[in-house]
Amino acid sequence: MNLSNALYDKLKFVVQVLIPGIAALYVGLAQVWTEVSFFDYSVQVSSTAVVVATFLGLFLTASSKQYEGAGDLVVTTDPQDGEVYLSADLNKHPAAFKNKKNVVLNVKHQEAA
């Protein structure tokens, strides 16, 4: 599943911050306002929030796989003088990154031969 960066960031915020925050607020207020019937559903609300956040998290996980394929940042250390060299081993043509704001690379460490 390919989500745009903006949609991915918004969905991630909803799943990781907004849904748990609203559920925590509701459950917390239910503890204080026990005589108000509106807050009689704290177990149902918190359970629903967990289920919805978990379900939406599946989309985040599937979408995040697209970021793993950009390539590797290779960190090479010379064992003689300790000098560190960086190189990028991209899985796509550099032109594919022309309009990107962010690129995620996996970091690989190696010693020079």
pLDDT tens digits, one per residue of 46-64 = 999 999 999 988 878 877 7
Residue 49, number of CB atoms within 10 A of its CB: 19
Mean pLDDT along residues 19-27: 92
pLDDT at site 68: 58
pLDDT surpasses 90 at 39: no
Go through 88-112 and write b for each residue having 16 or more CB atoms within 10 A of its CB, e for each that does not.
eeeeeeeeeeeeeeeeebeeeeeee
pLDDT surpasses 70 at 30: yes
Q: How confident is the model at residue 21 (pLDDT cuts 50, 70, 90)?
A: very high
Q: Token pair of 7, please?
A: 């949609």
